[in-house]
Amino acid sequence: MSILVDENTRLLVQGITGGEGTFHTRACIEYGTRVVAGVTPGKGGTLWENTVPVFNTVEQAVKETGANASIIFVPAPLAADAIFEAADAGLSPIVCITEGIPTFDMMAVCHYLRGRNTRLIGPNCPGVISPGKCKVGIMVAAAFKEGTVGVCSRSGTLTYEVAAMLTEIGIGQSTCVGIGGDPITGTTFVEALDLFQQDPATEAIVLIGEIGGTAEQEAAAFIKERVTKPVAAFIAGSAAPVGRRMGHAGAIVTGAAGRAEEKKKALAAVGVRIAESPAEIPAKIGR
């Protein structure tokens, strides 16, 4: 098994005719993902690269093709509307790759999705991959191998790096989820951990966090109460100065809780095996 995406995923690409949409749609198809539709307003009725039908609206695309998931390559000012449209059409998961969405827009998105049976991944994320089954994202497929370790990460680059290290020594992954590095994201560490805990094919979990916010402390509390599988973690940003944003919009230390050391302490206190560098993760996962 896997979480979020698998062989049954029928993917719709919002922004398929743009440069990024085109490049990454090709890569998803090459991996074996079933891309059944694209949406670009004004280009409905055409075929993307003579293969994928393009529609003006998500609603029309879902009705005509049976799409059940979406990936979004829409510019930041329009991305929130793209998420609303995908949610209204009943798609889940919705994977939003777009970076730079205003925080106020994401507040509106999260409020809109509350109570709906819709899973949003991102924004500002690399997406989701269930190795050997389906890729809905921008990650380099060669880094991943089918297996039983679930990976959830705030960092796209570290997702690839850690997966490649696991793959190199023969440890495969059930699903890898990049939850995104913005202050507000659709899926939290707690929600990703819950999905992995419920997945019978996931035997161990890797959590990749970073400075800023309290997501890792919330994950630690959830692990203590609900997670029975072994968890290893790496927290990026140990040397980051207080008050300075490091990379992601959410990676800024504004209080003691946001510091890497505080996050590591909270996770270690509930039995999580802490890696001081990404290279230590394969050993820490204990497989």
Tokens, residue 109: 């998105």
Q: What is the 3-state secondary structure (H, E, C) of 246-269?
A: CCCCCCCCCCHHHCHHHHHHHHHH
Residue 24 falls in the annotated catalytic set: no
Q: Which residue in 119, 135, 248, 273 is the catalytic one?
A: 248
Q: Which residues contact 157 (CB under 8 A, 6 or more apart)?
A: none
Tokens, residue 95: 């994977």
Closest CA to 173 of 149, 193, 196, 143: 149
Give the type of residue at 110: C
Tokens, residue 165: 């290290």
Q: CA 68, 129, 33: angle at the middle one, nearest 5?
A: 50
Burial class (CB in 10 A: 0-12, 13-18, 19+), 154: buried
Q: Which residues contact 104 (CB under 8 A, 6 or more apart)?
A: none
Tell me the sheet residues that pair with 177.
Answer: 128, 152
- What sign results for the dihedral spanned by CA atoms 223, 211, 124, 115? positive
| Pairwise CA distance, residues 9 & 129, whole Å | 11
Q: What is the CA radius of gyration of the chain?
A: 18
Just list the catalytic residues: 248
